[in-house]
Amino acid sequence: MAKLDLIENISPIQRWVIIGLLFIIILGGFFYFVYMPKAERKKTIDGELSSLVNEININMTKARTLEDLKKQNAELQRQLSEKKEQLPSEAEAETLLKQISDVGAGANLDIKLWKPGERKQSPDGLYIELPVSIEIAGGYHSMAIFFDRIGKFPRIVNISNLKIASAKAEKDKIILQSSFIATAFASKEGKK
């Protein structure tokens, strides 16, 4: 009964203040323990959702361009196979250098020197250079035919350090002496 008397002795203003405080405590507890954690969780989920929506948009854009990318990939694969044909294995490159000798004989040139040089690896390690020092003698037109045929090889052969000496008359013909370095290139993957 003492508690009941205590409640009856409280003035109506104090009762409203107590009820207001209880309401504020309950409301504050709800806000702190229920609303704020759910708001944080919602914020996290919204961020994840936004990230997923961006990823979906990016993937949809990629999916739209997939056919174009497949076509580009097929074209790049075709170009790669063409380039690989121009860059033979080391054994094929050595054969290619020997073909130069055959081309020289076919062009009526006299091969005076055939000296393979030191193999060099490219700075990036993708290919090997196979140089050969060559000296030939023959007529001007024969040399032109020779270099033209080398230029038409399906594989890459570089001619460098070309030197042509003065012409000499031999047996009713004018003969030129020429020296150069023929370099064939070989793929590293061809060497095992």
pLDDT digits (tens, 9 = 90+) for 49-81: 999 999 999 988 888 888 888 898 999 888 877
Are 156 and 127 spatial neighbours (Cβ–Cβ below 8 Å)?
no
Give the residue among 120, 132, 142, 145 at the shortest CA–CA distance from 96: 132
More confident call, 6 vs 143 = 143
pLDDT bin (cut points 50, 70, 90) of residue 47 is very high
Are 106 and 92 spatial neighbours (Cβ–Cβ below 8 Å)?
no
pLDDT bin (cut points 50, 70, 90) of residue 191 is very low
27: tokens are: 């409301």
